[in-house]
């Protein structure tokens, strides 16, 4: 719940601590943020724009696809990496797990199940996603924010950060992580959904993606190991529509052309899921 993470939050205007007053959070400078009835709080600066956030349709597609268990191996690998990253001596004690670009909170919920006693901050710019994240786990607090601006979390407040198919702000991740804290980053390899990329004209992942991620994070964090997770999906037509609709290709795919291309696919179609789970340490 939101109250579990309030002590870690910071005002997006002045970076001071926030305190709850009835149905709002306020800082000593007088900045105030109303709590949404759906369980999240928006800590966006007044001039922020949410146009890049996932739409209600994209969020619904992602929720359906993840609920069906198609990406369960990714969630399990992330939870396993989280258990390895958090010191066994600290298990069961309070600590913050911050998920930057958390979406519906699906992966954060799996990690919290593996880390009893930890609390989670689901950070995303989409209020549609955070309405679901706020209900994804009893220890999740959901916060609307912009990944490219100063995050509304206090310095050195997070023991662990997650970033799954989401934007990465290296300087802010370093600031928010405690010394010795870990970022777990999940990114697609060039083989991810390759059977659909050509057939449906989806956005592809270039071969140099991991190198570019390492270069951008290099000034802020140290690599601490990685593994590839690859498996085969068997998807029916609706599953394929859903996986297209929940990702970045949803912004660039013509519905009529997609429908025509889908009609040419076998039922079910076998599709490769391939990601890298990489750890970086402050």
Q: What is the CATH number of the domain that holds 192?
A: 3.40.50.150
Q: What is the pLDDT of residues 123-141, one digit of tens each?
A: 999 999 999 999 999 999 9
Which H or E run includes 193? none
Residue 74 has pLDDT above 90, yes or no: yes
pTM across the whole model: 0.90
- Residue partners of 228: CB distance under 8 A and separation at least 6: 189, 274, 275, 276, 277
> What is the spatial distance between Cα 196 and Cα 80, in angstroms, rounded to a whole number?
29
**Mean pLDDT, the chain, integer:** 88
Q: What does the pLDDT look like over 263-278, one tens digit per residue? A: 777 788 899 999 999 9
Q: How far is residue 232's CA from residue 272's CA, in Å, rounded to a whole number?
A: 5
**Cβ–Cβ < 8 Å for 125, 146:** yes
What's the structural domain count of the chain?
1
Provide the domain limits for residue 21.
2-281
pLDDT band at 247 (very low <50, low <70, confident <90, very high): low
Beginning with the edge strand found earlier in the chain, give each strand of the sheet holding 19-21 in spatial order: 19-21, 24-26, 32-34
């Amino acid at each position: 719940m939101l109250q579990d993470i309030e002590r870690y939050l910071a005002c997006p205007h002045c970076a001071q601590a926030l305190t709850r007053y009835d149905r709002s959070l306020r800082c000593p400078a007088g900045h105030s943020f109303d709590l949404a009835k759906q369980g999240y709080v928006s800590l966006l600066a007044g001039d922020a724009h949410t146009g890049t956030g996932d739409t209600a349709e994209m969020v619904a597609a992602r929720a359906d696809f993840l609920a069906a268990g198609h990406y369960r191996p990714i969630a399990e690998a992330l939870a396993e990496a989280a258990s390895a990253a958090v010191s066994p001596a600290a298990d069961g004690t309070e600590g913050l797990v911050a998920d930057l670009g958390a979406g519906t909170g699906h992966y954060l919920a799996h990690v919290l199940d593996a880390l009893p006693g930890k609390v989670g901050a689901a950070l995303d710019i989409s209020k549609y996603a955070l309405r679901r994240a706020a209900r994804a786990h009893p220890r999740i607090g959901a916060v609307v924010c912009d990944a490219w601006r100063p995050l509304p979390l206090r310095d050195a407040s997070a023991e662990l950060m997650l970033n799954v198919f989401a934007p990465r702000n290296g300087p802010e991740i370093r600031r928010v992580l405690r010394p010795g804290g870990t970022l777990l980053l999940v990114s697609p390899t060039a083989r991810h959904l390759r059977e659909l990329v050509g057939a449906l004209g989806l956005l592809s992942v270039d071969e140099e993606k991991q190198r570019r991620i390492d270069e951008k994070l290099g000034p802020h964090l140290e690599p601490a190991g990685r593994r590839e997770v690859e498996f085969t999906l068997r998807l029916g037509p609706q599953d394929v529509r859903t996986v297209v609709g929940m990702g970045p290709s949803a912004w660039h795919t013509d519905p009529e052309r997609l429908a025509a291309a889908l009609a040419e696919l076998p039922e079910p179609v076998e599709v490769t899921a391939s990601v890298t789970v990489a750890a970086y340490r402050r």
